[in-house]
């Protein structure tokens, strides 16, 4: 993995330095799916990359009929997966905007996920897509032992995904989101689940970031000294442990894990650890993500503020 040097502008596209994916997105926007087929076919043994590529491709295809036409002409695991991803994105969008078509779109999405799973039984990605919709129904499976709040949730579905890939990044993030207050959970439940999942992950895993994700989600600017939370010893030590154990592994990644790096950089800057944050921001190169910066204001301004605090260059003001 080589993020490249910062050359004066941020790159916000989710493909980041995955050039195959970036090129595929151009083709998908033009109504062509051959490159999407190839980009996903090579990920059949790399579930993390398959999840990421399929989600980005689906986000490009969601406002067109490309996925439907591709599946009709070439029914295969890749076309079925992209159709499932597209259908889920549409169902979630409809539910979040209270669109009257939400229920039929959800039924279509569930059917699409089941079809994709049947075509590739060892692939966790269709099940992860299904998990993304779990927050719509507040599934109430009992929690396993070890959680203080014992929050019910889609534990059975999550367990099935873990049986296929124990450390699936997107699955963990989707599952955690089911406990966010904005989806009917609570701050305490989200912290509890994040700590439970993070602690069971390997020390050098990006899943150790889950408590920091929950912390951003719980941010309340109206609370006294809300911006000083990251200076508390527990959060500062969490960020430093991830810096020491996970960041050295990033150089071996196929592509820059921009979102995970952004959460870590944010936590370190907020915790007053600019020296460590500088290394994390440098590892990101020019690539940027809206989260977590957009929670605290304009993402461009927040990212530039963090870079300035670390003595790094920022884009010129228009």
What is the DSSP code (8-state) at residue 248? H
Q: What's the average model confidence in pLDDT over 63-86?
A: 98
> Residue 285: what pLDDT?
94
pLDDT given for residue 318 in this prediction: 65
HSE-up (13 A, CA, CB side) for residue 152 = 6
C-beta neighbour count of 191 within 10 angstroms: 19
Say what the pLDDT of residue 4 is. 61
pLDDT tier for residue 226 given thresholds of 50, 70 and 90: confident
Mean pLDDT of the chain: 95
Query: Contact 197/172 with Cβ under 8 angstroms?
Result: yes
- Averaged over 244-269, what is the pLDDT? 96
pLDDT in the model for residue 229 = 92
For the chain, what's the residue count? 318
* Residue 3: predicted pLDDT: 60
Q: Does residue 299 carry a pLDDT above 50?
A: yes
Q: CB of 108 within 8 A of CB of 87? A: yes
DSSP state of 175: H
At 1 the pLDDT is: 46
Instruction: Indicate whether 317 pLDDT > 90.
Output: no
Tens digits of per-residue pLDDT, 13-57?
A: 999 999 999 999 999 999 999 999 999 999 999 999 999 999 999
Q: How many C-alpha atoms does 68 have within 13 Å on its Cβ side?
A: 8
Please say if the pLDDT value at position 2 is more than 60: no
Q: Mean pLDDT lowest for which of 20-34, 220-234, 273-287?
A: 220-234
Distance of CA 215 to the CA centre of its chain: 15
> Is residue 265 very low, low, confident or very high in pLDDT (cuts 50, 70, 90)?
very high
224 pLDDT tier (thresholds 50, 70, 90): confident
pLDDT class for 138, splitting at 50, 70, 90?
confident
Say what percent of the chain tops pLDDT 90: 92
What is the pLDDT at residue 169?
98
């Amino acid at each position: 993995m080589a993020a490249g040097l910062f050359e004066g502008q941020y790159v916000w596209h989710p493909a980041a330095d995955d050039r195959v994916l970036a090129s595929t997105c151009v083709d998908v926007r033009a109504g062509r799916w051959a490159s999407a087929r190839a980009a996903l076919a090579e990920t059949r043994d790399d579930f993390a990359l398959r999840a990421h590529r399929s989600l980005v491709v689906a986000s490009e295809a969601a406002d067109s009929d490309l996925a439907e036409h591709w599946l009709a002409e070439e029914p295969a695991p890749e076309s079925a997966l992209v159709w499932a991803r597209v259908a889920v994105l549409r169902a979630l969008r409809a539910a979040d905007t209270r669109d009257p078509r939400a229920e039929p779109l959800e039924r279509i999405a569930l059917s699409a996920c089941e079809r994709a799973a049947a075509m590739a039984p060892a692939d966790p990605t269709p099940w992860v897509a299904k998990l993304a919709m779990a927050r719509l129904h507040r599934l109430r499976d009992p929690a396993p032992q070890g959680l203080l709040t014992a929050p019910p949730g889609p534990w059975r579905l999550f367990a099935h995904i873990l049986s296929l890939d124990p450390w699936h990044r997107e699955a963990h993030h989707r599952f955690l989101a089911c406990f966010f207050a904005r989806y009917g959970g609570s701050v305490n439940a989200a912290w509890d689940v994040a700590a439970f999942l993070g602690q069971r992950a390997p020390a050098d895993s990006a899943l150790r970031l889950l408590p920091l994700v929950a912390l951003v989600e719980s941010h309340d600017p109206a609370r006294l000294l809300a911006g000083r939370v990251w200076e508390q010893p527990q959060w500062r030590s969490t960020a430093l442990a991830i810096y020491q154990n996970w960041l050295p592994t990033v150089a071996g990644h196929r592509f820059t894990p921009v979102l995970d790096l952004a959460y870590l950089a944010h936590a370190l800057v907020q915790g007053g650890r600019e020296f460590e944050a500088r290394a994390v921001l440098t590892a990101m190169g020019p690539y940027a993500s809206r989260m977590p910066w957009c929670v605290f204001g304009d993402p461009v301004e927040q990212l530039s503020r963090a870079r300035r605090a670390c003595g790094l260059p920022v884009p010129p003001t228009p």
